[in-house]
Amino acid sequence: MASASLNPFGTLARHRNFRLFWYGQTLSLVGTWMQGMAQGWLALELTNNAFLVGAVAAAGSLPILLFTLPAGVIVDHERKLRLVILMQVMMLLQATALWLFTLTGHIGMGSLLVLAALGGLCSAIEIPARQALIVHLVSREDLQGAIALNSSGFNLARIVGPALAALTIASLGIAWCFGLNALSFVTVIGGLLLIRLPEGADEATEREGTRAEALIEGLRYMAGTPAVRALMGLVAIYGIFGGPYLTLMPVVARDQLGLGAGGYGALLSSVGIGGVVGALVVAGAAGRLPRQSLLYGSAIAFCVLLIAFSFTRTLWGAVPILVATGFMMIVVNALANGLLQSIVPNALRGRLMAAYSFLIVGLAQAAGSFGAGAVARAAGVRWAIGGGAAIMLAYTLVARARTPSLTPPAA
C-alpha cells in the first residue's frame, strides 16, 4: 500500500473514467497552450503594446468574472459530464473561427478580443463543471492525487504546447496554432463520450428556490466556513498578483531578455517543466503530505522566486528560476484545490469550484492582467511582476500566522 501511494500514476491505473478524461484533456490542453501563446504573440505583433497584450488575456477572463458564479448553480443542478462536452464543442468552434480569421488575414484587435471573450464565456461554465466532475471519476481517497494529476497534464501541455507553437509559427504561421487547437478538441470530446459513470452518479438534481437563493447559499457557506474562507483568500491574492507574470511573458521575452517566439516558448516550457514535477510530487505523496505547512511554505517560495525573476536579464538566468517557480505555483494550486474539494459537501461542489474559478481565472486575469499591463506600461515589467510578488509575500506571512486548521473532516 505504501508503494502504491507513492506512485503518481496510480490513480490513472485504478480508474478507467479518469484515465479517459486525463488523456483527452491533456492532449487538448496542448492545443490550448498553443492558442494562448499565439494570441499573446499576435496581439504584440498587431499593436506593439504591453497593455493590449494584457487586455487580450483579460478579455478571455472577463466573462468568467461576470458569469462563473451563476454558472456554479447550473453545475450543481445539471449533469456535469454533459455540460463539459457541450462547452468543449463550443470551444472547438471558437478555435476554428480564430484559425479562419487569421488564415485569411481578417484578424484585428477587435475580432481577437471578441473571440477571446467568447472562449471565456464557454470557460465560465466548463471550468467549474470539469473541476466538479473529477470527484465522480475517482474514489474519494484518490481525489487529491487526481487533482494533482490534472495539474500535471496542464503543465505537461504547457511544456509541449509552446514548443509546438514556436515551431508552428516559424514554419506555418500563427494561424495554424489556432487550427491545431481546434483539431485537439476532438481528442477530449472523444474521451468524454467514452466515459461511463456509475448508476446515480452525476445525476441532475432539482433546485430548491431561485438561482439567486442558491447562489447566496453557496456564498454564505464559503464566508461562514473558516478553512474555506482562508483558502479562498490565498487563491485570490495569488491569482491577482501572481498569475500576470505569465500574461506578461511575451513582453519579458522580447523587451527584457531580447528573445523571439522561440525564446518565449522556452520560458513557458520552463514553467511547465517545474509544474509537471510539482504536480507529480503531490500526486505521488498525496496521503503523506503535511498539506497546510507545505501550502504556505510553497507560497512563500513562489513569491521569492518571482521577485528574483523580475531582476533576471538573460535566458539562462531565467530558465532555472522559472522551473522552480512552476514547481511552487502548481504545488500551491493543487494543494489549495485538493483541500477545498476535500472540505466541501457534494451539494455545493459546483458553486465552490465556480467561486474558485472566479478568483483564480476571472478576477485574477481580468483585474490582474489589466493591472499588471498598466503597471508594465507605466513603470516597466520588472515592477509589474516583482511588485505583485512583494504584495503576495506580505499577505502570506500574515495569513500563515492567522489561518485556522485546514485539515479536512474524516470521510
- pLDDT tens digits, one per residue of 301-352: 999 999 999 999 899 999 999 999 999 998 998 888 888 888 888 888 889 9
Q: Which band of pLDDT confidence, cut at 50, 70 and 90, is reported for residue 278? A: confident
pLDDT at 193: 93
Asked whether residue 9 carries a pLDDT value surpassing 50, the answer given is yes
Q: Which band of pLDDT confidence, cut at 50, 70 and 90, is reported for residue 406? A: low
Q: What percent of the chain has pLDDT over 90?
A: 27
For domain 2-195+211-402, the CATH architecture is Up-down Bundle (1.20)
Give residue limits of the domains in the chain. Answer: 2-195+211-402
| Cα 232 to Cα 239: distance, rounded to the nearest angstrom | 10
Are 135 and 341 within 8 A, CB to CB? yes
Give the distance, in angstroms, between the CA of residue 183 and the centroid of all CA atoms in the same chain: 21
Mean pLDDT of 120-149: 86
3-state secondary structure 86-112: HHHHHHHHHHHHHHHHHHCCCCCHHHH
Mean pLDDT of 360-376: 77
